[in-house]
Amino acid sequence: MPDPSANAAAASRYHLTEAVRAPDSTLLGFWVYLMSDCLLFAALFACYGVLGRHYGGGPTGAQVFDLPTVAVDTTLLLLSSITYGISVLRMQAGSRTGTLTWLACTGLLGAGFVGIELREFSRLIADGAGPGRSAFLSSFFALVGTHGLHVTFGLVWLATLLIQVGRHGLIEANRRRVMCLSLFWHFLDVVWVGVFTFVYLIGVLP
């Protein structure tokens, strides 16, 4: 006859093991997602590398890029990475208010980045330099636009996280979500440094 106490102990060990594995599985799955995103951006960078000098009689990068504006945009995104790092430090210190405050600062900086990028896209299209003008502009809009969509998704995720932390505090699940979004946000920063260098800085060269 099965021993009820032994069954209970086995069940307890099973649930404890699953509880330990769950966060690890979440982070592992998120790393796999980031690796797939790396492949996506690698393909977009490769396309731009091939098509970035095919102007088709249209404007060149030096003619359409506004480097001072892009520099401001870059500064906003890099600052948002710093503020997110501070929010993680406040979370580790157990401060819900500090975490929420610095996450909100990150969101404002990220929203500013997206707003400036949308304004630049609107200016280019209004000037007749839309994605259909040349292979160069098609690959440019594809690469920069995909990054902008990722930042927008990150802002939606950040807003949801602010609500969750505000309602439930710094519970384990919310801590894990903050760390996952941290990986995603810093990844987008690294990609943007590549975009700024490869697309904008090199693009203005003759």
- Residue pLDDT, tens place only, 29-48: 888 989 999 999 999 999 99
Q: Are 84 and 106 contacting, i.e. CB atoms less than 8 angstroms apart?
A: yes
**Superfamily of domain 30-203 in the CATH hierarchy:** Cytochrome c oxidase, subunit III, four-helix bundle (1.20.120.80)
Structural tokens at position 195: 């975009």
Q: How far is CA 40 from CA 43, 47, 154, in A?
A: 5, 11, 17
Q: Model pTM?
A: 0.86
| For residue 15, pLDDT beyond 60 | no
- The domain limits of the chain are 30-203
Instruction: Say what the pLDDT of residue 108 is.
Output: 98
- Residue pLDDT, tens place only, 68-104: 999 999 999 999 999 999 999 999 999 999 999 999 9
DSSP 177: H
- Residue pLDDT, tens place only, 49-65: 999 999 988 899 999 99
The dihedral built from the CA positions of residue 89, 91, 95 and 96, taken in this order, carries a sign that is positive
